[in-house]
Amino acid sequence: MNNIIQDLFGLQNKTAIVTGGAMGIGKGIAGRLALAGASVLIADIVSEQEAAPTLDGIRQQGGKVAYIQADLSNTALLPGIVKAAVDTFGDLDILVNNAGIFKYMPITELNEDLWDKTLNLNLKAVAFLSKAFINTLIEKKHGGKIINISSIDSLKPTGNLAQYDASKGGVRMLTRSFAKEAGKYGITVNDIAPGGVNTPGVQKIAGDNLPKEQLEAMQAQTAQFIQTLPLQRIGEPDDIGNAALFLAGKASDYITGSTIVVDGGLLLM
Split at pLDDT 50, 70, 90, the class of 205 is low
Q: What percent of the chain has pLDDT over 70?
A: 94
Burial pattern 44-56, b for ≥16 Cβ within 10 A else e, equals bbeeeeebeebbe
Look at residue 199 and tell me whether its pLDDT is greater than 90: no
- Which pLDDT band holds residue 201 (cuts at 50, 70, 90)? low
* Average pLDDT value for residue range 61-83: 98
| CATH homologous superfamily, domain 2-197+236-268 | NAD(P)-binding Rossmann-like Domain (3.40.50.720)
Beta-sheet strand order (sheet of 259-262): 64-69, 39-44, 15-19, 94-97, 144-149, 187-194, 259-262
Residue extents of the structural domains in the chain: 2-197+236-268
Summarised one tens digit per residue, pLDDT across range 34-67 is: 999 999 999 999 999 999 999 999 999 999 999 9
Band the pLDDT of 200: cuts 50, 70, 90: confident
What local confidence, expressed as pLDDT, does residue 1 receive? 47
Average pLDDT of the residues in 74-90: 99
What pLDDT shows up at residue 216?
Answer: 73
**Rounded-to-integer distance, Cα 261 and Cα 235, Å:** 12
Percentage of residues in the chain having pLDDT higher than 90? 86
What pLDDT shows up at residue 2?
76
For 129-161, what is each residue's pLDDT tens digit? Answer: 999 999 999 999 999 999 999 999 999 998 899
**Residue 164 among the catalytic residues:** yes
Neighbours of 77 (CB within 10 A): 17
- Say which residue, 209 or 77, is predicted with more confidence: 77
pTM here is: 0.94
Catalytic residue among 67, 104, 164, 254: 164
Contact 28, 40 (CB under 8 A): no
Mean pLDDT of 227-248: 97
